[in-house]
Chains A and B, each alone.
Chain A
Amino acid sequence: MATNLLVRVNITDATASYASQPTYYITVDLAADRIIWTAGSAEVYNHCGYSPSNAQLNEAATLIQATPVIIDKCFLDDVSSVNKLEQLVGCKDTNDRYVFCFSFDGATATEPTLEAWDTSAHSAATLNVLGAGTPANSMVHAICTTAGAPGSSWSGTSLAAANTVLLNNGSGALGSATDLYANIYIKIPASYGTPETSQPVFSVRYTYS
């Protein structure tokens, strides 16, 4: 039987799992919705009521600084809602456990992984945000929180190409329907030399039989 995956994001309280508080979560429409990391602005804010244009997102970009900077906000552009932009909880290096929820409705043959690539071809990670070809330099930090909270000032895995995150905390394939969790943030190095607007592909790879 096929095993299906629903991706959900927590917009309310990072201490509450999906099982305990399902209304705290929005299910991502993978074909239509967008996930946006941004500094925010007078035009790009929680519940703004429209999907921001590229020009508005450029205006709301995070500024490169003399010290490392974590992108302040992560929004789901929930195109089916009136609010449109919904701000996720977490998405920083703070001790937030229940942020991204990956709900599998059955068993898998392998342990699901979280990955980041340039495109859905899943063949290269050359974007600056993904380390410009050096995965260890990826600005995307991700951590599995299925088994527990990440702690404060967590660093996790520099997510890019073969640098992936096992979403079942290294415990292997899923035997039945299970919710897995991760937290993700983006940290721009100090005085980074190349500004970039990019659309890296975040993917969950899994198997079924």
Chain B
Amino acid sequence: MPIPLYELVLDDNTIYLGGDLASPKWRESPDKAILSFKLKLPSGDFLLLEGYDAYNFFVEAVNVLSGAEKGKHLTYLYMMGLKDAVITSYRISLGTNAGDMTIRRFPEGKEYANKPTTGWHRGK
């Protein structure tokens, strides 16, 4: 059985297992506060976030429609935590240098290309 992409511990102490890169199942996760969010990195290690007011997660893809290297490419995973109106963003490369991580902080609402993201789940 493949290892899930991530694991959420919810405030009723149940565990929700995410899907895979093709279908992360983040939006389908239960409407319950998140106690902790553990992401499996391309290296096989894990990244654990907890104590945030809210969490977000998504996969970035580019569809190349011209040029010599056409098709769909997955580029990054984004794992985010919101605390006191500041978002900490963990961007993990899926392409060249897979697993490289960039950690940045943004004001709430400017966390991706200076714009807000959707799909947030509350934390506890």
Contact = CB atoms under 8 A, between A and B. Distances in A.
A209 B71 contact: no
Interface string B61-100: 1111111111111010010000000000000000110000
Interface residues of B, number: 36
A206 B60 contact: yes
B56 A109 contact: yes
Do most interface residues of chain A lie in helix, strand or loop, or is the interface mixed? Answer: loop
A209 B61 contact: no
A109 B96 CA distance: 23
B1 interface: no
Contacts of B59: 2, 207-209
Contacts of A58: none
B69 A201 contact: yes
Nearest to A198: B67
Nearest to B120: A109
Contacts of A173: 117-118
Contact of A119 (B63, B69, B75, B115): B69
Interface in A12-56: 28, 30-35
Interface string B44-70: 000000000000111111111111111
Interface stretch (B7-15, B24-32, B35-43): B24-32
Contact of B118 (A32, A172, A204, A205): A172
A111 interface: yes
Nearest to A3: B61
B71 to A, nearest CB: 5
Contacts of A30: 63-65, 70-72
Contact of A109 (B58, B67, B75): B58
B65 A207 contact: no
Contacts of A31: 70-71
A7 interface: yes
A34 B22 CA distance: 25
B83 to A, nearest CB: 19
A110 interface: yes
A209 B117 CA distance: 11
Nearest to A201: B67
A29 B61 CA distance: 17
Contacts of B57: 209
B65 A209 contact: no
Given A30-B65, A199-B67, A199-B68, 9 more contacts: A30-B70, A120-B67, A173-B118, A201-B67, A203-B63, A204-B62, A207-B78, A209-B24, A209-B56
Interface of A: 1-2, 5, 7, 28, 30-35, 107-111, 113, 115, 119-122, 172-173, 175, 199-209
5 interchain residue pairs of minimum CB distance = A201-B67, A120-B69, A209-B26, A109-B58, A209-B58
15 contacts: A2-B59, A28-B65, A107-B119, A110-B58, A110-B115, A110-B118, A201-B66, A203-B63, A204-B62, A204-B63, A205-B62, A207-B61, A209-B27, A209-B57, A209-B59
